[in-house]
Structure 1
Amino acid sequence: MNKEIFERCKVDKLYLEQFMRENENLIWFSIRKYIGEPAEVADKYRIDKDDLLQLGRLAMLKCIKRFDPDRRVKFSSFTVTAIVREVRCFLRDKTSVIRPTRSASELLNRIKQTICELEYVPSTRDIAELLDVDEQRVVKAMKVAGDTVYAEFDMPIPKRAEDDVIDSMYTQEILQDMACRMTDVEFNIVLGRLNGMSYRQLSEKCKVSKKAVVRTMRKAREVLRDVYTLMNELDKD
């Protein structure tokens, strides 16, 4: 494929859609070869086949924006890796979703009932006093629910809460992309640093040398730069 094709894809949305439709088989090929039969994968993870297709399209869109024909790498080879990574990351997240315990679910239901009765969302301290529970339990329950607490009652999300939701979405997106580009050990090192662990502590916990920790953090910075660059490119569209 020549460079003009990808340049046109970046400025002509109709041409981009046509290009992606014509290369849709590449998405299914990637999933079948490296993940499994789409129907079986969809059934196993309780998702629609169309979800897999959309993930593949998202990966392909990212590749179109980043692909450089001058590097003499085939677009198909470049894209297969991205598609598999995108789908695997999604499936991994599906299997690691944290579900609230029964007691947490019951507390959340009580919180929702209180909000419904008051017709507004009070502070966590007020909710804790009304329900006679520890405020930290309320905070954790609200964190699990996120902005759905407000959406369920068709109430506007407070500015601070809205900012928190947006920040959380961007953070999760960045961390997810980083997780896909790093090994489990490397990603655990990054999470450890974010939680304030020292290089020595990480070295002992992950059973690697301090030099390995330093190399990992250097790699993390490079990955982070790539992620920010990609996100900025996507935001411009």
Structure 2
Amino acid sequence: MKYHCLIFTFLFSCQLFGQANITNQNLYWTRYYNQLSLNSKWTWHNEIDMRRFADNSRLHHLIIHSHLHYKVAPNFDVAAGITYSQQSPQFSDATSTLVVPEIRPFQEINQSQTLGKRVTLSHRFRLDERFIRKNNGTDLLEGSDFNFRFRYRPQLVINLSKSDNKTPVNLKVADELMLNFGGEILYNHFDQNRVYAGFEKVLSKNFSVEMGYLHWFQQRNTGKDFFDRNIVRLTILHKVKL
């Protein structure tokens, strides 16, 4: 709740001076998420995420994550990884074809706890180090802009099936806040907020499929402009044990 209050404070401050400019967009994301268990302590996670505009299927963003997790305790792990992304134009009707690459090392902590037999609450804390290629809006330039970004995501997973069901259906609800700091950040210390709800159907011990809705509210570099996005996300989850 306190994080949503932070967002409302930003919105109210902008609207108070009549400067807020909110752009609504609809997108769909398709994601493949692989978890490779190397042993009881180490797991290697790899993701590829294709994000497209709903109206013309134009590519909005390509994201690739790779991160290695070490289990410190049954309900606690630490991880480090790297992200490579290609940011296409932010509008589906843009005439520009500029694609801006980003390299993003990151570190994270994951902690989970059970709330009864059917509910799990998890917390993810992540620190991004963002190296975004410099550009002038039409061409890439030499060098990169740099800043840190802190991310916090609480998530509830609720088992909706009977206890003896080996292929359960899970309800997932999450809320992630992202804050920028360091580097040359002048206006958008608040980066974005993502609220998500979806259903995961476990198909086997190795595969599951997830479909959900994500509301993405993001502040732009100007400090007074925002994106308000409605997103449908499809995820294929694949777990492999060695």
TM-score range, shorter chain: under 0.3
Q: Which of the two has greater helix per residue? A: 1
Query: Larger radius of gyration, structure 1 or 2?
Result: 1
Normalised TM-score (structure 2):
0.27
Normalised TM-score (structure 1):
0.27
Where relative contact order (Cα < 8 A, 6+ residues apart) is larger, the structure is: 2
